[in-house]
Structure 1
Amino acid sequence: MKFIYKLLYRVLFLIPMGMVAQQTQDATTVFKKRVLETTEVDFLASYYSQDGNNAAVSGGIGTEELTDIAPTIIVSVPLNEDDVLTVELGVSAYTSASSSNVNPFDDSGSADPFQASSGASGSDVWTNLTASYSHSSDDRNTLWSGNISVSSEYDYFSAGAGGSYTRLFNEKNTEFSIKANVFIDTWNAIYPSELRPFGEGGNGLSNALFTQNTITGNPNYNPTFTKFQDEGRNSYSVGLGFSQILSKNLQGSLSLDFVQQQGLLSTPFQRVYFADVADSFIENFQLADDIERLPDTRFKIAVGGRLHYYINEIFALRSFYRYYTDDFGIQSHTASLEVPVKISDKFTLYPSYRYYTQTAADYFAPAEQHLSTQEFYTSDFDLSEYVANQFGFGIRYNDLFANTHIWKLGIKSVDLQYNTYARDSGLQSNLISFGMGFVMD
C-alpha cells in the first residue's frame, strides 16, 4: 500500500509540478523579448555647402567653395530573438571649386585660384557599403558586434573591419564597452597638373602646358618634384567607453580613443609655395613649388565625457566635452550643449551650440612661409590654429507605435536639423540634414 501511495503522490503532485516548471522554463525561452521586434529602415539625407579663401589645393589661397549631397539608407533585420543584421549604403556626391583647380589650365577661361575650372576633379562621388552583425546574450547584459565595410571614390579606395563588446552591470545602470577597427586604404595619387611633367619620366618645360602658355614672374620654373612611392595607408583604432546612471535624472559617460595611422598621410594634390623660391605664374595661377608632405605615421588620442540631465517632462540638458592631441602637434578642445524641449507627446525641439579650438600642426604654415629645405610642410588650413563656432536647431517627431504609414512602412521618427558653422579663418558652412525612421509591418 505504501508503494501505491507513493506512486499516486508522484503522479498527482511531483510530475505535474515538474511539468509546470519545465513549461515555465520553456516559456521563458519561447517568449524571450526580441532585441529588435521587426525590420527597421532609416533614410538619411543631407545638403552641405561651404565657402572660404584658404583652399589647400591651391596652397592655402583661393576659393574653398564646395557643395555636397549625401543620401544614406540603413536597414536593420532581426535574424532571431538575439541577433540583428544591419546593412548601410551611403553616397556622397560633391562639387568643389577648389578641387577643380587640380588642373586649372583647361582652356575654360583664365586660370585663377578664386575661380573654379571645368576639370574632371571638380566633382566626385563617394560610395560606402557597411554590414554589421550583433548578438545579445539571453539576459541582455552582453552585446557582441562585428562589421565590414568598403568605400571608394575616384582616387581612393578603403576596406575596413571591426568589432565591439559591451557589458552591462549593476542592474543595467553601469555599462562598459570596447571597440576596435582597422581600415586598409589605397590612393590613386593625382598630382597638380604643372608638377606632373617634372616627375620621373616627364619632359619638364617641353610639356605642352608650358610651350602653349607663357610663364610670368620667374620664367625658369623648375620644381624639384618626386611622386610618392607608397600609396597605401592603414588606420587602427581602439576605443573604450564607460557610462553610469548617477541618479534618476543624471547620466554620465567617459570615452578614451586611440588611433594609429601609417602610410601616405599627405594629400597628393595639395600645393605648397616656398618663401625661398621665386614665384612663377600661368595667367593668374601660381605654379606649385611642391605638394604637401607629412610624416608617414600619426598617433591620435581623444578623451571625452558626456553628462545628460533630465530637468522635467519638458526640458533636458545634453553636454559634451572632448580633449584631443596627436604627434603632429595639434591639441584641441570641443564643448557642446544641446537642450531638447518637448513641446508635445510627439514633437521635440533641440537647439544646440558647439565650440571648438585647436593649435596648429608643427608642419603648417600659410603660403610663401615654408622653406624648401624643410622635410615636412603643408598649407592646409584644417591643420592651422583656429576657433570655430557652430549653432544648430532641429525638430524631431516620434511615434513609438508607428501609426502613420507610407506603403507598408510605419513612420517611427522624423528629424529635420539645420547647422551653421564659422571659423575665425573665414571658412563658413551650412548643413541641412533630414532623417526618417520606419518599421516594417
Structure 2
Amino acid sequence: MKIFKIIVSIAALFAFTMSYAQQAQDSVKTYKKRVLETTEVDFLTSYYSQDGDNAAVSGGLGTEELTDFTGTFVVAIPLTDDDVLTIDAGVSAYTSASSSNVDPFDGGQPADPFVASSGASSSDTWANISGSYSNSSDDRNTIVSGKVSVSSEYDYFSLGFGGGLTKLFNEKNTEVSINANVYLDKWNALYPSELRPFASGANGLNNGFFSNKTITGNTNYSPSFDKFSDETRNSYSLGFGFSQILSKNLQGSLALDLVQQQGLLSTPFQRVYFSDIADSFIENFQLADAIEQLPNSRFKVAAGGRLNWYINETFVVRSFYRYYYDDWGINSHTASVEVPIKLTDKFTVYPSYRYYQQTAADYFFGYEEALSTETFYTSDYDLSKYSANQFGMGVSYTDIFTKMHVWKLGLKSIDLKFYKYDRDTTFSSSIITAGVKFVMD
C-alpha cells in the first residue's frame, strides 16, 4: 500500500512537471519575439537619365539619350510570429531617343541616328509584381523562403520563381545561405523597320515601305535577314553566401553566383553594319546590314566579398569587391567603398565610390568593324571594353519611435541618394533615388 502511494505520488509529480513544462513551452511560443513586429510599407522612387553616342539600336553610332521614372511599393506583412509575406509592385515609364530609332522613319522630321523619332517606339512602360514568403524556425537559426514574380513590357514578358535556405550558427555569428531562381522569358520580337520587308516571303524593295522613300549610297539594298525562330529565354541561377562576424567591429561576407542562360540572348532590334558591304541610306539614317547575332547560351560566374568595419559611433566603412567571368569572353572587376557618417541620432550621410572595368565580349565589334562572314556579332557597347567610375552621396533620416504619422502609418525612415556614373566611352548617366518606410500602428 505504501509502495502504491509512492508510485501515485511520483506519477502526480511527473504529471505536474510535464504540465508545467508544457505551459512554460506554450508561454515561450506565445511570447517569443516576432520576426517582424508589424506591417511595414516602403515607397521607393527613382529618376534616371543617360546619354552617349554609341547606341546599339543604330549599330554603335547614335544617341543613347534615355529618361526613366520608376515607382515601387513594398509591403511586408507578418502572418504569424515566424512567417512574413512581402508584396513588391512597381511601374517604370521611360522615354528613349535610342529605342525610338527602331523605326526612325515614323516621325515628322528627317531620320537621323542622333535625333529621336517621335513614333510609337520612343516610349514604353514596364510593370512588375512579386510575392515572397519566409519562415523562421523557433530559434531563428533557420530561414526558408520562396518567391514568385511577373513582369511585362510591350515586347517582353517574364515569369520568375525561386527559393532559398539560410542557416545561422555559432550564436548567430556565422551565416550560410543558398538560393536558386528560374526566369522564363518571352520576347515579342521587334525588328528594325527597314529589315521587315526582307523577312522570309516578303517583297524586299518592292514592299510598300520603300515606295515613298529614296535610297542613297548603295541603292541595291539587299540585306540578309531572317526572323528568330525561337523567342524564349530561360535563366537559371544558383547563389551561395557566407557571412561571419570577425570581431565586435568587423564583419565579412563571401558570395558566389552561377547563372546559365538559354534561348534568344540577342536583342532583335539592335542593328549591325558590316565593313565589307557598301552603305545604304534613307535621309540621314544608315540602313541595317543585319541584326545582332549572339550565341543562344551563356554561362556567368561572379565571386565577391564584403568587409564592414565599425570604427566608432560616427564612422563605418563598407567595402566590396567582385570578380565576374562569362563564356562570351568578358572578365570584369568591381570595387566599391561607402562610408556612412552618423551626424546625429536621426541623420546619416553616405558618400560612396565605385570602380568598374571589363574586357570586351568575343563577339563585340564597333561601328562598321564586323565582317559579313562572322557568325556572331554585336555593336552593343555594354559588351565592349571599358572602365567606369561612379560617385554617390546619400542622406537618411531615421525615427525609431515613429513620431510622425500619415493616416495609420508611422514614419520610420527617409532615404535620398544621388549617383553620377561615367564610362571612358561617351556614355554617362545619373540617378536620384528616394525611399520612405512606414510601419503600421
Give the counterpart letter for 1:425 in structure 2: T
Q: Deviations over 1:388-434 (max 9, x none)?
A: 00000000111222221111001111100000000000111010000
In the alignment, the residues of structure 1 paired with residue 347 and residue 4 of structure 2 have an alpha-carbon distance, to the nearest angstrom, of 70
Structure 1 pair 342–211 and aligned structure 2 pair: CA distance change class (3 A)? same
Structure 1 pair 376–23 and aligned structure 2 pair: CA distance change class (3 A)? same
Give the counterpart letter for 1:337 in structure 2: V
- The percent of aligned pairs where both chains have the same amino acid is 67
Task: Determine the structure 1 residue equivalent to 2:144.
Answer: 144
> Alignment partner of 2:166: what SS?
strand
Task: Determine the structure 1 residue equivalent to 2:334.
Answer: 334
Task: Determine the structure 1 residue equivalent to 2:23.
Answer: 23
Q: How does 1:169-248 map to 2 (within 5 A)?
A: 169-248=169-248
Q: How many Å apart are 1:153 and its aligned residue?
A: 0.3
In the alignment, the residues of structure 2 paired with residue 235 and residue 303 of structure 1 have an alpha-carbon distance, to the nearest angstrom, of 18
In the alignment, the residues of structure 2 paired with residue 226 and residue 387 of structure 1 have an alpha-carbon distance, to the nearest angstrom, of 35
More deviation in 127-136 or 207-216?
207-216
Task: Determine the structure 2 residue equivalent to 1:419.
Answer: 419
How many residues are paired up? 441
Task: Determine the structure 2 residue equivalent to 1:371.
Answer: 371
Task: Determine the structure 1 residue equivalent to 2:60.
Answer: 60
Q: How many Å apart are 1:58 and its aligned residue?
A: 0.3
Q: How does 1:34-49 map to 2 (within 5 A)?
A: 34-49=34-49
> Alignment partner of 2:26: what SS?
helix
Structure 1 pair 223–338 and aligned structure 2 pair: CA distance change class (3 A)? same
> Alignment partner of 2:247: what SS?
coil
Q: How many Å apart are 1:209 and its aligned residue?
A: 2.9
Q: How many Å apart are 1:200 and its aligned residue?
A: 1.1
- Given that 2:129 and 2:150 are in contact with CA atoms closer than 8 Å, whether structure 1 keeps it comes out as yes
In the alignment, the residues of structure 1 paired with residue 292 and residue 8 of structure 2 have an alpha-carbon distance, to the nearest angstrom, of 90
In the alignment, the residues of structure 2 paired with residue 4 and residue 159 of structure 1 have an alpha-carbon distance, to the nearest angstrom, of 69
In the alignment, the residues of structure 1 paired with residue 357 and residue 309 of structure 2 have an alpha-carbon distance, to the nearest angstrom, of 25
Task: Determine the structure 2 residue equivalent to 1:399.
Answer: 399
Q: Deviations over 1:23-54 (max 9, x none)?
A: 22221111111111111111100000000000
- Given that 2:49 and 2:430 are in contact with CA atoms closer than 8 Å, whether structure 1 keeps it comes out as yes
In the alignment, the residues of structure 2 paired with residue 344 and residue 128 of structure 1 have an alpha-carbon distance, to the nearest angstrom, of 37
Structure 1 pair 222–15 and aligned structure 2 pair: CA distance change class (3 A)? closer
Task: Determine the structure 1 residue equivalent to 2:354.
Answer: 354
Q: How many Å apart are 1:211 and its aligned residue?
A: 2.1
> Alignment partner of 1:172: what SS?
coil
In the alignment, the residues of structure 1 paired with residue 79 and residue 388 of structure 2 have an alpha-carbon distance, to the nearest angstrom, of 44
Structure 1 pair 8–303 and aligned structure 2 pair: CA distance change class (3 A)? closer
In the alignment, the residues of structure 1 paired with residue 136 and residue 35 of structure 2 have an alpha-carbon distance, to the nearest angstrom, of 7
More deviation in 271-280 or 198-207?
198-207
In the alignment, the residues of structure 2 paired with residue 240 and residue 107 of structure 1 have an alpha-carbon distance, to the nearest angstrom, of 49
> Alignment partner of 1:197: what SS?
helix
Query: Which segments of structure 1 move beyond 4 Å, counting only runs of 4 or more?
Result: 1-19
Task: Determine the structure 2 residue equivalent to 1:265.
Answer: 265
Give the counterpart letter for 1:358 in structure 2: Q
- Given that 2:87 and 2:131 are in contact with CA atoms closer than 8 Å, whether structure 1 keeps it comes out as yes
Task: Determine the structure 2 residue equivalent to 1:324.
Answer: 324
Structure 1 pair 335–3 and aligned structure 2 pair: CA distance change class (3 A)? same
Q: How many Å apart are 1:6 and its aligned residue?
A: 5.0
Structure 1 pair 7–368 and aligned structure 2 pair: CA distance change class (3 A)? closer
In the alignment, the residues of structure 1 paired with residue 362 and residue 76 of structure 2 have an alpha-carbon distance, to the nearest angstrom, of 44
Task: Determine the structure 1 residue equivalent to 2:115.
Answer: 115
- Given that 2:62 and 2:114 are in contact with CA atoms closer than 8 Å, whether structure 1 keeps it comes out as yes
In the alignment, the residues of structure 2 paired with residue 19 and residue 122 of structure 1 have an alpha-carbon distance, to the nearest angstrom, of 71
- Given that 2:396 and 2:416 are in contact with CA atoms closer than 8 Å, whether structure 1 keeps it comes out as yes
Task: Determine the structure 2 residue equivalent to 1:162.
Answer: 162
Q: How many Å apart are 1:185 and its aligned residue?
A: 0.5
Task: Determine the structure 2 residue equivalent to 1:100.
Answer: 100
In the alignment, the residues of structure 1 paired with residue 162 and residue 369 of structure 2 have an alpha-carbon distance, to the nearest angstrom, of 41
In the alignment, the residues of structure 1 paired with residue 270 and residue 87 of structure 2 have an alpha-carbon distance, to the nearest angstrom, of 34
Q: Deviations over 1:35-81 (max 9, x none)?
A: 11111111100000000000000000010000000100011111101
In the alignment, the residues of structure 1 paired with residue 112 and residue 190 of structure 2 have an alpha-carbon distance, to the nearest angstrom, of 20
Task: Determine the structure 2 residue equivalent to 1:289.
Answer: 289
Structure 1 pair 104–32 and aligned structure 2 pair: CA distance change class (3 A)? same
In the alignment, the residues of structure 2 paired with residue 137 and residue 232 of structure 1 have an alpha-carbon distance, to the nearest angstrom, of 39
In the alignment, the residues of structure 1 paired with residue 135 and residue 107 of structure 2 have an alpha-carbon distance, to the nearest angstrom, of 57
Q: How many Å apart are 1:210 and its aligned residue?
A: 2.0
More deviation in 199-208 or 269-278?
199-208
Task: Determine the structure 2 residue equivalent to 1:389.
Answer: 389
Q: How many Å apart are 1:90 and its aligned residue?
A: 1.0
Give the counterpart letter for 1:308 in structure 2: N
Task: Determine the structure 2 residue equivalent to 1:300.
Answer: 300
In the alignment, the residues of structure 1 paired with residue 63 and residue 8 of structure 2 have an alpha-carbon distance, to the nearest angstrom, of 93
Give the counterpart letter for 2:422 in structure 1: A
In the alignment, the residues of structure 1 paired with residue 21 and residue 194 of structure 2 have an alpha-carbon distance, to the nearest angstrom, of 81
In the alignment, the residues of structure 2 paired with residue 188 and residue 194 of structure 1 have an alpha-carbon distance, to the nearest angstrom, of 18
Q: How many Å apart are 1:207 and its aligned residue?
A: 2.0
> Alignment partner of 1:350: what SS?
strand
In the alignment, the residues of structure 1 paired with residue 385 and residue 44 of structure 2 have an alpha-carbon distance, to the nearest angstrom, of 33
| Runs of 5+ unmatched residues, structure 2 | none
> Alignment partner of 1:351: what SS?
strand
> Alignment partner of 2:382: what SS?
helix
Give the counterpart letter for 2:64 in structure 1: E
- Given that 2:197 and 2:209 are in contact with CA atoms closer than 8 Å, whether structure 1 keeps it comes out as no
In the alignment, the residues of structure 1 paired with residue 10 and residue 337 of structure 2 have an alpha-carbon distance, to the nearest angstrom, of 67
In the alignment, the residues of structure 1 paired with residue 91 and residue 15 of structure 2 have an alpha-carbon distance, to the nearest angstrom, of 62
In the alignment, the residues of structure 1 paired with residue 158 and residue 204 of structure 2 have an alpha-carbon distance, to the nearest angstrom, of 33
Q: Deviations over 1:351-394 (max 9, x none)?
A: 00000000000000111110000000000000000010000000
Task: Determine the structure 1 residue equivalent to 2:131.
Answer: 131
CA RMSD of aligned residues (A): 1.6
Q: Deviations over 1:222-251 (max 9, x none)?
A: 101111000000000000000000000000
